[in-house]
Chains A and B, each alone.
Chain A
Amino acid sequence: MADETTQPPEAAKPSPSPAAAAHKPAPKKVEATDASAHPWVESIRSAVPDSVVSAKEFAKQVTVVVHRNRIAEVAHHLKDAEDFRYCVDVTAVDWRDRQPRFDVVYHFYSFSKNDRIRVKCAVADGEEVPSISEVFLAANWPERETWDMFGIRFAGHPDLRRILTWDGFHGHPLRKDFPVEGIDTGAAIYPEEWPEGGGPAPGDPNRKVVS
C-alpha cells in the first residue's frame, strides 16, 4: 500500500487555450496525508493502548490501521466514546502477495460528527478476527459475507456460515486465487459424480487460477 500517487497519462494542466477547455477544470490531484495527529486517532490511541498502527487521510476520509486483536475494543471505544454508532459496512481486501494477506475493513459513521471513519486491520490467512457483531448488530451479515467471500473467520460470531454462496460450496470466491470463471465445486452441484463433500483437489488442472 505505497503512498505514492501515480500520474494519469494525460496530466491535465489548466490550459490557456480558448473557450472549450476553460469550461472543464482539471481533476485536482488529491493527496493523502498522514493523520496520526487526528483527534479521533489520538482518542483511539489513548483509550486502547497498542492498537493503532498507522493512520491516513485521503479525500477527507480518515483511515486508521489497528492491530487485529484490538479491533473489538477499538470498535467499542468508537461506539461509546466517539459516537460512531452506525456500522456502515464490514468487508475485506485480499492483498495476495503481501504478508499478512488480508485487510479487514470497517466503516463507521457518526451522526453527531456527520462523518465516517475507516478502520482496517491486517489478518493473515488462517488467523481469526474478533467479531464486532455483539457491539454492532449491523455487522452480523457483513461479517458472514466476509467469511464466505474471503475465508476470514470471526471469533465470537453467533452464526458464522455461508450467506451468499450455497451449502456445500468449497472455496472463497473473492480471493485472488479463485478464478473468475468459477470452479467445479464438486459434490455440491454434481452429487452423482463426487462423493459426499468431495470435489476437485486444489492441484487439479480443472481449477483455473487468475494471474
Chain B
Amino acid sequence: MSDDRPLTEAEKAQAAKAAEDLKAAALAAAESVPVSVHPPTLFEVQEMELNFGPQHPSTHGVLRLVIRVDGERILETKPDVGYLHRGTEKLFETETYPMGIPHTDRLDYVAAATNNHAYCLTIEKLLGVEIPRRAQLIRIILDELQRLSSHLVWLGTSGIDLGAVTPFWYAFREREQILDFFEEYCGARLTLNCMRIGGLPFDLTPGWVERLIEFVDDLPSRIDDYEQLLTENRIWKKRTVGVGVISGEECIEWGVTGPVLRGSGVEWDLRRAQPYECYEELDFAIPTRVNGDTYDRYIVRVQEMRQSARIIKQCIDRLEPGEIRGKVPRVIKPPVEETYASIESPKGELGFYCVSNGTNRPYRMHVRPPSFINLQALPRLAKGHLVSDLVALIGTIDIVLGEVDR
C-alpha cells in the first residue's frame, strides 16, 4: 500500500469480507480433520522418534542416531553417518602412494599408526617388498603403543559416559606419556605419518627405548588403578553386565571384529590368525570372554592393554641394530594387480584393498573400516534396551567417526 490515504468504505467492506473468507476457510480446514485424530496427551503411551546427535555430550564424533522409543525403551535405532565424510578414497586416487599415508592418519585418528601400517602393508604386498627385521619390530612397538593409546581413550570416555569421571583423567595421564613417545619419534602426537612403504621413516632416538621400558614396566600397576575403580564396582557392573549382548555367531554374521568379537567368545585376532610383521614369534594371549555383553568387552580391552605391554617388552628385547627400510624403488609403481591386506587395529580388522594400474597413483584404494562395519550392528545391540544404555553401547563398540565416514 503505497498511499497513506484512509480506506474508503468499499475498501473496508472488502477487507472485512476477505477476513471472513479466510476465517471460514480455516474453520473448514480444521473440521476436515477426522475427529479421531486428537492431539496426544501426556500419559498416553506413544512412540517417539528422537534425534540423538549429531552433537551430543557423549560424543565419539559426529554421529546421528534416529531412535524410535516407547517411553524409555528403544524400539529401533537408525544410525545416520556421513557427517565426517571427506572423500578420502577419492583423494587416494589423485595422489601417489607415499602421499596417501598422511590421509590414512585421519581415518581412525585415535590410532593413526595402525592405519599407516595397514596401508603400507597393502602396497608392500603388491610390490613384494621385504621389510627388515628391525623395522618390523619397531612397527609392532608403534602399533601396540597405539593400541594402548586407543584403549585408554576408550576407557576414559566410556567411564565418563556412564558417570565415572575419574578413570578418564588417569587414562589420559598415561596417554600423554604415549603421545610424548610418538612426538619424539616422528614429530606428531596424533596424526603420526610414522610408517613408510618398505619400513619406517626414522630410526629410534637415543634413550627412547629406555624410557619406553620404564613406561611399560609401570603400566600394569596403572591398569590396576583403573581396574580398581571399575572392574569390581557394583554400579559399573550393573550398568554393563547384560547390556548389549551379542553372540559370537551373530558377530560373524554382522562382520563385527575386534574386541566385540572376542568379547562374544570367538577367539580370533589377526595378529594370531594371519600374523604380519613378526607377530608369530611373540608370546601373547588373546583375551576372550564368553558372555558378549558390555562388561566382557570392557574386560577384553583392559586385558588387551596388559598384553600390549607384554608385546612391547618382548619386541624391545629383540631389537638389534639394522636397516629400517627395505629396498623400495624410488618411484613406487606396483604391478597391474589388486590386493587386500589387513591388520588388527584396536577397533577390529582394518584392511586396504588396492587396485593398481601400473602408474604411481592407485587406481582404486578402498578402506575396510572396522568402525563402519561394527556400527552396523548397533541397531541389533540396542534393541530392547533403554535410552540410557545407548550411551554405553556406543562406547562399547568403540567407534571413531573418522573411520566410519572416511
Contacts and interface: CB of A to CB of B under 8 A. Distances in A.
A binds B: yes
Interface of A: 1-6, 8-10, 12, 21, 23-30, 32, 58-59, 61, 63, 85-89, 91, 93-94, 105, 107, 111, 114, 116, 118, 136-142, 145, 149, 162-166, 173-174, 178, 180, 182, 210
Interface residues of B, number: 57
Given A89-B368, A180-B91, A28 B333 contact: no
B75 to A, nearest CB: 16
Nearest to A179: B90
B85 A164 contact: yes
Contacts of A28: 128, 130
Contacts of A61: 339-340
B373 A141 contact: yes
A2 to B, nearest CB: 6
A28 B132 CA distance: 14
A140 B255 CA distance: 10
Contact of B327 (A12, A93, A116, A118): A12
B281 interface: no
10 contacts: A5-B335, A6-B358, A8-B331, A30-B126, A114-B274, A137-B255, A149-B89, A173-B90, A180-B87, A210-B94
Contacts of B273: 114
A180 B94 CA distance: 8
A188 B324 CA distance: 49
B68 interface: no
A157 to B, nearest CB: 13
B336 A141 contact: no
Closest 3 CB pairs of A and B: A138-B255, A5-B335, A24-B327
Interface stretch (B172-180, B292-300, B347-355): B347-355
A210 B90 CA distance: 11
B128 A63 contact: no
B367 to A, nearest CB: 9
Contacts of B89: 149, 174
B52 interface: no
Contacts of B335: 5-6, 29-30
Given A32-B337, A89-B366, A173-B90, A136 B253 contact: yes
Contact of A165 (B82, B253, B366): B82
A109 to B, nearest CB: 9
B87 A29 contact: no
B128 A29 contact: yes
B241 interface: no
Contacts of A6: 333, 335-336, 358
Contact of A27 (B127, B132, B358, B372): B127
Contact of B329 (A8, A23, A163, A165): A8
B334 to A, nearest CB: 8
Given A5-B337, A164-B85, A180-B87, A59 B326 contact: no
A23 B373 contact: no
A140 B89 CA distance: 20
Nearest to B363: A93
B366 A91 contact: yes
